[in-house]
Amino acid sequence: MSIYSLNPVGTTPALGRQLRLRRLLGTDGRMMSVALDQAVPRGVAPRLADIKRTFNRIIATEPDAFTVFKGIAGHLLWDNDITVPLIIKGSTFCVDFHPTYDATVASVHDAIRLGADALAIGISAGSQNQVAMLEMMSATTEEAHKWGMPVICHAYPSGELWGDRKGSTESVVYAARAAAECGTDIVKTWYTGSAAEFKQVVDAVPTPVVAAGGAPAPKPINVLEQAAAVMEAGGVGMTCGRNIWQAEDPAKMVRALKAVVHDGVAPSRAAELLD
């Protein structure tokens, strides 16, 4: 046996990337994060208008991470001593004005300067803008990895070229696999309706897969049931926006989702935390 103890990463960015991913995914490799980046893509809802109060209610329950745009991060964190990992949103679509094109709004170096643990970018697979989106995703991921910054891709098959196949398991598999093929570290994509269908996505993507929380659910229990199905399928977790910050009590919803994602609590039992 060698008497020397070798440093496997030297002084390369590999260590920084590993440490940031470890903070995001924790000791169990799972993640329940909160999306607070929806004012530009979907409009300024009342809870997002009152962003500081909404943030403070949510963050007190310590989700695994939260996502915001770069200009909001300082308003929320400058006088706040929280240690929850920060994800900076680096691109955005808008449902009203450019639904299938993610405009670049933050760089890798913005994320580094702000102390983020990851940069999130999005693609609209199956759109006329797919070529540009793939080029942006690949270039951003390459630059991020040079600096030890993980990349999360919001990989949605939202393009108009899918026709009636948009939202199918086939389309979700394609979008998620495209993100993995381009080197992103975590893929966030649409839930496909059941554990069996979502397992097809997870099985086709060799990187950790997180499900998007989606449109507001009819009942809180439906959000918990979706989270349980994602975990059953082999996903690493959920990222929820509207189903958390529009909930009657956002903090209780975070606790309930954490119980499902991290502790394997049945949705019916986790729902008791909402009372």
Reading phi first (left if > 0) and then psi (alpha if -120 to 50, else beta), residue 206 is in alpha
SS3 of residue 182 by DSSP: coil
Catalytic residue among 89, 101, 156, 191: 156
Give residue-wise pLDDT tens across range 98-108: 999 999 999 99
Give residue-wise pLDDT tens across range 183-228: 999 999 999 999 999 999 999 999 999 999 988 999 999 999 999 9
Range 179-218 burial, b when 16+ CB lie within 10 A, else e? bbebbbbbbbbbbbeebebbbbbbeebebbbbbbbbeebe
Question: Between these two residues, 236 and 5, which has the higher pLDDT value?
Answer: 236
Catalytic residue among 89, 166, 188, 199: 188
| DSSP-assigned beta bridge partners for residue 189 | 211
Q: Is the pLDDT of residue 41 over 90?
A: yes
Question: How many helices (H) does the chain have, and how many strands (E)?
Answer: 13, 10
Range 154-177 burial, b when 16+ CB lie within 10 A, else e? bbbbbbeebeeebebbebbbbbbb
For the segment 220-237, the average pLDDT, to the nearest whole number, is 98
Domain residue limits, the chain: 29-272
Q: Is the pLDDT of residue 2 over 90?
A: no
How many of the other CB atoms lie within 10 Å of CB of 12? 12
Q: Is the pLDDT of residue 4 over 80?
A: no
How much is the pLDDT for 5? 82
CATH entry 3.60.9.10 includes domain 29-272: no
Q: Is the pLDDT of residue 16 over 80?
A: yes
Give residue-wise pLDDT tens across range 133-179: 999 999 999 999 999 999 999 999 999 999 999 999 999 999 999 99
**Torsion over CA: 175, 178, 179, 185 (sign):** positive
- Amino acid, res. 133: M
Could you tell me if 152 and 111 are in contact, meaning their C-beta atoms sit under 8 angstroms apart?
Answer: no
Opening angle at CA 126, ends 120 and 129, nearest 5: 70
Output the six-digit token pair for 138.
């690949």
Could you tell me if 20 and 31 are in contact, meaning their C-beta atoms sit under 8 angstroms apart?
Answer: no
State the Rg of the chain over Cα. Answer: 18
Q: Is the pLDDT of residue 109 over 90?
A: yes
CA distance readout (Å), 106 to 15, 70, 154, 197: 23, 7, 15, 34
- Average confidence score pLDDT of the chain: 97
Asked about 156 being catalytic, the answer comes back as: yes
H-only helix segments in 78-213: 108-113, 130-146, 169-181, 195-204
| DSSP-assigned beta bridge partners for residue 212 | 239
Give residue-wise pLDDT tens across range 48-97: 999 999 999 999 999 999 999 999 999 999 999 999 999 999 999 999 99
Structure pTM? 0.96
Of the candidates 99, 105, 112, the residue with the CA atom closest to the CA atom of residue 41: 99
Q: Is the pLDDT of residue 1 over 70?
A: no
Asked about 188 being catalytic, the answer comes back as: yes
Of the candidates 1, 75, 35, the residue with the CA atom closest to the CA atom of residue 237: 35
